Amino acid sequence: MIDKTIYHTPQKPEDPDAPYLTVQETAWVMKCSVNTVRRKLRTIRRGGGPGRRILVSREERKALHAGGIKARYPAGRKPVAA
């Protein structure tokens, strides 16, 4: 069975300023979830479909950042342990 958790986990990119990053690397750079990046990409893109690798360009990362993707926790603040 294929482990699909890697598709939902942010991953540290080798070069955060690369021309193209995967959705997982973009989520790592923007400090948000992979699903948040995918949801926001749907608002700025048209087309695409399941089964394709999604790459995010620098311009799209700028648009995502300007569109309001923010870190889950503000700088210096950590989540409260339950």
The SS3 assignment for 73 reads coil
Q: What is the pLDDT of residue 82?
A: 45
pTM: 0.72
In one-letter notation, the amino acid at residue 80 is V
| CA angle in degrees (0–180, nearest 5) for 24-42-39 | 55
Q: Which of the residue ranges 16-20, 31-35, 38-42, 68-72 would you say has the lowest mean pLDDT? A: 68-72
**Bridge partner list, 21:** 56
Which residues have a Cβ under 8 Å from the Cβ of 82 and sit 6 or more positions away?
none
